[in-house]
Amino acid sequence: MPLPKIHDRRERRIARRRADILEAAMKVFAEKGIRQATTKEIAEAADIAEGTIYNYFANKEELVAEMLMYIGDVESRILDYVEGLKVDLRTFFHDYMLKRYRALEGNHRLIAVVFSEVLNTPELRDIYMQRTFMPGTKIMEDHLRTRIERGELPPMDVPTITRLLIGTILGLHLLIATGDEVTTELWADPQKFTDVLTDFLFNGLTPRSDAAE
Amino acid sequence: MPLPKIHDRRERRIARRRADILEAAMKVFAEKGIRQATTKEIAEAADIAEGTIYNYFANKEELVAEMLMYIGDVESRILDYVEGLKVDLRTFFHDYMLKRYRALEGNHRLIAVVFSEVLNTPELRDIYMQRTFMPGTKIMEDHLRTRIERGELPPMDVPTITRLLIGTILGLHLLIATGDEVTTELWADPQKFTDVLTDFLFNGLTPRSDAAE
Amino acid sequence: MPLPKIHDRRERRIARRRADILEAAMKVFAEKGIRQATTKEIAEAADIAEGTIYNYFANKEELVAEMLMYIGDVESRILDYVEGLKVDLRTFFHDYMLKRYRALEGNHRLIAVVFSEVLNTPELRDIYMQRTFMPGTKIMEDHLRTRIERGELPPMDVPTITRLLIGTILGLHLLIATGDEVTTELWADPQKFTDVLTDFLFNGLTPRSDAAE
Amino acid sequence: MPLPKIHDRRERRIARRRADILEAAMKVFAEKGIRQATTKEIAEAADIAEGTIYNYFANKEELVAEMLMYIGDVESRILDYVEGLKVDLRTFFHDYMLKRYRALEGNHRLIAVVFSEVLNTPELRDIYMQRTFMPGTKIMEDHLRTRIERGELPPMDVPTITRLLIGTILGLHLLIATGDEVTTELWADPQKFTDVLTDFLFNGLTPRSDAAE
DNA sequence: AATGAATGAGGATTCATTCAT
DNA sequence: GATGAATGAATCCTCATTCAT
């Protein structure tokens, strides 16, 4: 079956090229910001002609959308429902933070820039909600419900608590994105960061005796 | 001394005009987004000529910066160090949330739009950090330290905990800005919202028996 | 009443500027063709900045549409129903041809170029039909009907005959536009041209004895 | 002589391919207009690769020129000098109109599109003049001259009259192309159309008693 | 001080054409 | 000969900013 093979090869080549261009674009976006990045700059970064971008992406907006979906997929894969239930909740949180940390390491500027665009463009906001926020939220909610059923957590308003958890993590990302030094330093020490954050999420401002530092 | 008086009047008139233009700009920014808002639209909203804007602001960016400073001042005034220490910590948080809630009510779109710009533009980020973030952080840190000194709180890593508190609130704002329904509904009920949030910040995910729902 | 006056002056200035730009555009269109003419060239011909065009016209298409309407108005004014009925039909035709001749003298390339665009763009075609074709047709039809009522012409299928008359004139324009020498030379002698054409329209291929050359 | 044969076959294959591509191009041109038609679309319509077009045509313009020549050949063949002289003039005209009608039936959009391009592009205009206009003109002129010699027609300015005849037909085509309903309906009834047109060309506006409707 | 017309740099996008495979 | 990905020149339009009145 030679035809399918050729077809595959062609598709693979296209996918590879798209990925190359996307990667170059992400680099430029992170450096300059999304709207400040010109297609010319992206083309130069990808070492192709400006017009070639349009053989792989309908327009600049699709490039941004694709980037958002890519980031969403990366983020989605961090939360693992099945594996997460095998360990206790603290460990699950801790592991999640750590994986998240590793996935996003060094990409804070890109995250800031992307979030800037998401806040500004309804279409991108929808993509973010569907590809990143909602999947993550669902896993977290299911996880909490299972824990409650198991009796490991007291009954609670699961959707709301989920927002508080996700909101906190999101907020810390933004503090780093805005350049807060304390948060940045905290983040720089993954062990300490995950410890402190897990503790906060579990016990809040007033740690119990067994969790006090 | 007639001259100073005239000067005062002049300055007041200038200040008033700046405020008028700023108000019009904020309205347009909230509606369209900052970069989508044109100076033409702002001039129309302020009922002046386009060129007049430039008699009061150096350029569009200064307009945005000024808006950011204005918002920062409003936000700063919410946290009252002196008054806050007169009540217990829960009440202080609760009051703060409520005041914050009232100050920002109906301005989520503007907040989203401004934050979008802050995330994108280093210069604006600096303004945000200096006028909004740092003052708020300082008050919160001082507050916590005083509470610790008083023995009302256990010893803790104050700067870090402060980031967690502020990060959480910031994260919730962004969840609303991105259109999450659960968070939006939560926010719509100020009493419940402040209760739940205060509880979370105090006790985290695992409320003690006395705080259980 | 000074305000109306100022308003008038402003309006007149705008109208004059529009006219200036339109004139420059028509010149460039005639030289290069409509789609080959760039906004840059039009701006240069009008001795203004490229952006200034857009203070007076929404886009290039509006410029073309406006030109078409202008031409339509010029053409419409050629056919004078009231005056036309005062003279006999031959004289009416003769005068019409002569006025048309004078109005269009030296503008054949522009006419060709405009007609090219009309044939290509539905929106422009509609403008042409409404502003030029239909008014002219109506006057001609009314004219013929009045003549028939007066007994100066035999009963006939007025709409069809009108199309044949207008079609013939239109066709000759196009022959000139395509560069046919015979037609061009004929046109160059207005007296002969109008004579021959009037004769043809009246008597067709087989002139009666009294009309024979 | 095997080589010539192969050569012939080769040439025939090339000719066939050119014709295929041309046919596809004409289809796309008629649908979209010439300049709106992309080489990509033409390639798709011809079910070949975009680059293949350039193995058979130097560029898009040659494709248009070739189409124009093809149309010219079709139109030329409508006017048959030898056959035409066997019948009387009215019948000759009538037959010509009818043949023309059948040849062009359903191709008004293509005619409009082609004429639009001819009016716009001097190079195409020349092709049109040489391949379509001049041959047709010549046959018509010769025809009229022969009739005059035979005494069937009075002496007349043959070139001018020929332009009037051709111009009228051309004009009617354009009225249809611009969407005039009366002309379109007239055209839709070939018998009536040819009758009316022949009558007009013969007798003009003032039909003699024997031709009156 | 207010005006608003003029400015023109800047940028996304299209598409005929080329050429390595 | 066929392919179709790569090319990049070309162009319309936007809009913050200026400045003569």
Mean pLDDT confidence for C7-15: 83
Confidence of residue B2 (pLDDT cuts 50, 70, 90): low
The predicted pLDDT at position D120 comes to 92
Which nucleotide across the nucleic acid strands is nearest to A55, CA versus C1'? F5
The predicted pLDDT at position B210 comes to 46
Calculate how close chain C gets to D158, using CA atoms only, in Å: 10
- Most confident listed range (B47-51, B122-126, B188-192, D90-94): B47-51
Residues A169 and B164: their CA atoms lie apart, in Å, by: 9
Identify, with chain letter, the residue nearest to nucleotide E10 (CA–C1'). A38
Residues A67 and A114: their CA atoms lie apart, in Å, by: 9
Chain A CB within 8 Å of residue B210 CB:
no
The predicted pLDDT at position A163 comes to 94
Q: Has residue A213 got a pLDDT over 50?
A: no
Chain C CB within 8 Å of residue D165 CB:
yes
- Look at the alpha carbons of B71, B73, B77, B82 in this order and tell me if their dihedral is positive or negative: positive
Residues with CB under 7 A from strand F: A 10, 17, 48-52, 54-56; B 35-40, 50-51, 53-54, 59-61; C 36-40, 50-51, 54, 59-61; D 10, 14, 17, 48-52, 54-56
- In tens, the pLDDT along D70-120 reads 988 888 888 877 888 889 888 888 888 888 888 877 788 898 899 899 999
Residues D208 and C81: their CA atoms lie apart, in Å, by: 26
The predicted pLDDT at position A177 comes to 84
What is the percentage of chain B residues whose pLDDT exceeds 70?
93
Q: Hey, what amino acid is at D82?
A: V
- In tens, the pLDDT along C140-153 reads 999 999 999 998 88
Average pLDDT, chain C: 87
Q: Are C98 and C194 in contact (CB under 8 A)?
A: yes
Chain A CB within 8 Å of residue B25 CB:
no
Residues B201 and B90: their CA atoms lie apart, in Å, by: 9
| Terminal-residue alpha carbon distance, chain D | 67
Give the three-state DSSP class for D85.
coil
Nucleotides of E under 7 A from a protein CB: 1-20
Identify, with chain letter, the residue nearest to nucleotide F10 (CA–C1'). C38
* pLDDT tens for the 213 residues of chain D, in order: 555 666 788 888 889 999 999 999 999 999 999 999 999 999 999 999 999 999 999 999 999 999 999 988 888 888 877 888 889 888 888 888 888 888 877 788 898 899 899 999 998 999 999 888 998 899 999 999 999 999 888 898 999 999 999 999 889 888 988 889 999 898 888 888 888 888 888 888 876 544 434
Which nucleotide across the nucleic acid strands is nearest to A47, CA versus C1'? F6
Which nucleotide across the nucleic acid strands is nearest to C49, CA versus C1'? E7
Residues C165, D205: C-beta atoms closer than 8 Å: yes
Q: Has residue C194 got a pLDDT over 60?
A: yes
Mean pLDDT confidence for C85-97: 86
Identify, with chain letter, the residue nearest to nucleotide E9 (CA–C1'). C51
**Residue with more model confidence, A76 or B146:** B146
Chain A CB within 8 Å of residue B108 CB:
no
Full-model pTM: 0.89
Residues C85 and A70: their CA atoms lie apart, in Å, by: 77
Are there at least 3 beta-carbon pairs closer than 8 Å between B and A?
yes
Q: Has residue C4 got a pLDDT over 80?
A: no
The predicted pLDDT at position B187 comes to 84
Strand E closer than 7 A to residue B10 Cβ: yes
- Most confident listed range (A88-92, B86-90, B140-144): B140-144
Ordered by where they begin, the domains of chain B are: 9-59 (1.10.10.60), 73-204 (1.10.357)
Q: Are B112 and B171 in contact (CB under 8 A)?
A: no
Size of interface A-B (CB pairs under 8 A): 173
Confidence of residue B212 (pLDDT cuts 50, 70, 90): very low
Mean pLDDT confidence for B57-82: 89
Q: Considering only CB atoms, which chain A residues are within 8 Å of B160?
A: 182, 186, 196
What is the percentage of chain C residues whose pLDDT exceeds 70?
93
Q: Hey, what amino acid is at C69?
A: M
Contacting chains of D (3 CB pairs or more, <8 Å) are C
Strand E closer than 7 A to residue D60 Cβ: yes
Chain B CB within 8 Å of residue A55 CB:
no
Give the lowest-confidence range in B36-45, C67-76, D79-88, D203-212.
D203-212
φ, ψ for residue D34, nearest 5 deg: -70, -50
Token duo for residue C145? 């009907």
Give the three-state DSSP class for B74.
helix
The predicted pLDDT at position A202 comes to 86
The predicted pLDDT at position D19 comes to 95
The predicted pLDDT at position A5 comes to 59
The predicted pLDDT at position D211 comes to 40
What is the percentage of chain A residues whose pLDDT exceeds 90?
47
Q: Has residue C21 got a pLDDT over 50?
A: yes
| Rounded CA–C1' distance between A57 and F15, in angstroms | 27
Q: Has residue C211 got a pLDDT over 50?
A: no
Residues D166, C157: C-beta atoms closer than 8 Å: no
Calculate how close chain B gets to A183, using CA atoms only, in Å: 7
Q: Considering only CB atoms, which chain C residues are within 8 Å of D125?
A: 178-179
C 122-141 residues with CB < 8 A to D:
125, 128-129, 133
- In tens, the pLDDT along A111-157 reads 889 999 999 999 999 999 999 899 989 999 999 999 999 988 889 99
Strand E closer than 7 A to residue C36 Cβ: no
Residues B164, A165: C-beta atoms closer than 8 Å: no
Q: Are B65 and B127 in contact (CB under 8 A)?
A: yes
Q: Are B178 and A139 in contact (CB under 8 A)?
A: no
Q: Are D61 and D99 in contact (CB under 8 A)?
A: no
Mean pLDDT confidence for C107-124: 90
The predicted pLDDT at position C209 comes to 47
> How many other β-carbons are positioned within 10 Å of the β-carbon of residue B26?
23
Q: Has residue B208 got a pLDDT over 80?
A: no
Mean pLDDT confidence for C194-207: 83
**Residue with more model confidence, C26 or A190:** C26
Give the lowest-confidence range in A108-122, B17-31, C40-54.
A108-122
Q: What is the CA radius of gyration of chain B?
A: 20
Residues A197, B164: C-beta atoms closer than 8 Å: yes
